[in-house]
Amino acid sequence: MLQVILQQTRPTTLNVDLNCEKGEVLALVGPSGAGKSSVLRCIAGLQSAQKGMISCKGKTWFDSEARINQTPQQRRVGMVFQHYALFPHLTVMENIKLALDIDKDLHHQHGEQLLDKVNLSGLEQRYPHQLSGGQQQRVAIARALARQPEVLLLDEPFSAVDKVTRRKLYMELNTLRRQLDMPVILVTHDLDEAAMLADNLCVIHQGSTLQQGRPEQVLFKPDNVAIARQVDARNVFTGQLVEHENSLKLKWYDNLIDVVDTTNFSVGDNIHWTLSPSKVLLHQRVRQSRGEHENPLVGTISEMVSLRGITTLILNVEHTQEKHLQMDLPEHVAIRNQLKIGETISVSLLADAIHLMQE
């Protein structure tokens, strides 16, 4: 397991506490300048925090109190930089051989094995300028693995390639990671990318780790409203908990909404709440919905856009001072129900998907 605890006040603030098990992918997410790359550099030994500790597989790499600070060479870290940092005057095989830490007689054999692992067999003698962006990235990964690392660090590895290549690389990384018996830290500002590739997400903002957990936990059940905004939660509202018919209800303007999980909350609490757009259900016109009695609301469609088979609607909800509620539904459902801007529709909010957060 990789464990990282870092604190510093200059030159940039860091207040970091994260961990990653072997065989897992942990994605560090947050806006540009949040401190994600600084955390990677500290793990790799390229910079040191004022205080803290970094350990991997039971070995201490950095401990400010014990005055332990191993050099980058002493730490078995494989790192893939944003722009790959391949040596342009060396061939693919020569780039990989530079990182190999085994008997020279085995260099070529091991290099071929690494190229086969990243699907680049046959390109040994090409130079970086003769490769596509995706191929260069795979060479960078092979070179990082050549060090036989105990942790693999990926610093926005997909940002330099086009979307079509990126999708292919997602699949390849997913396949490759099943062969890796080490923690993998992925830095990205793309939440969809993080949710697709990572076992866990860690949200970083202004140098501080705010929450770490499974993607569905962080994205749909953030600890507080600040984290909800960092992960771009699209439905974030305020309300109050009231007692109605011997149970706690969420009062949202004139609406009383059923909520399943009210743990740690009490009557009268002013709270923030959020709901994934995919958990807002349309009351279909063509077929009776079974969920029409679960938190029904009425609203007017103010915006509507479709992308890759998903239609996103923005509703001006009645009796809420024109608050906007976003919902996602399959494009064919929108077409079948002949939804259009300006039309009034009714929807249900799934009670077990409503997440409450302290104000």
* pLDDT given at position 200: 96
3-state SS of the chain?
A: CEEEEEEECCCCCEEEEEEECCCCEEEEECCCCCCHHHHHHHHHCCCCCCEEEEEECCEEEEECCCCEECCCCCCCEEEECCCCCCCCCCCHHHHHHCCCCCCHHHHHHHHHHHHHHCCCCCCCCCCHHHCCHHHHHHHHHHHHHHCCCCEEEEECCCCCCCHHHHHHHHHHHHHHHCCCCCCEEEEECCHHHHHHHCCEEEEEECCEEEEEECHHHHHHCCCCHHHHHHCCCCCEEEEEEEEECCEEEEEECCEEEECCCCCCCCCCCEEEEECCHHHEEECCCCCCCCCCCCCEEEEEEEEEEEECCEEEEEEEECCCCCCEEEEEEEHHHHHHCCCCCCCEEEEEECHHHCEEEEC
For 277-350, which CATH class? mainly beta
Mean pLDDT by 10 residues, the chain (359 residues): 93 92 94 90 94 95 96 91 84 88 70 87 90 87 89 88 82 84 92 92 94 94 91 94 92 94 91 95 71 84 94 95 94 93 95 90
Looking at residue 322, its pLDDT comes to 85
* pLDDT for the residue 164: 83
The alpha carbon dihedral of 242, 243, 249, 252 has a sign of negative
Q: Report the pLDDT value the prediction gives residue 52, as an integer from 0 to 100.
A: 96
Tokens of 255: 């609406």
**226 vs 222: CA distance, rounded Å:** 9
| Most distant CA atoms of the chain, gap in Å | 79
Q: Return the closest-CA partner of residue 259 out of 357, 348, 356, 326.
A: 356
Q: Say how far apart CA 237 and CA 231 lie, in whole Å.
A: 15
Same fold, 21-49+66-203+211-230 and 277-350: no
Give the residue extent of every domain in the chain: 21-49+66-203+211-230, 236-274, 277-350
Contact predicate 186/20, CB 8 Å: no
- The CATH class for the domain spanning 21-49+66-203+211-230 reads alpha beta
d(CA 324, CA 16): 35
Q: What is the pLDDT of residue 167?
A: 85
Token pair in block for residue 18? 């994260």
For the whole model, what pTM was predicted?
0.86
Report residue 100 CA to chain centroid gap.
Answer: 31
Four-CA torsion 250, 251, 257, 263, nearest 10 degrees: 0
The pair of three-digit structure tokens given for residue 194, joined into one six-digit string: 């993080």
CA 25 from chain centre, in angstroms, equals 10
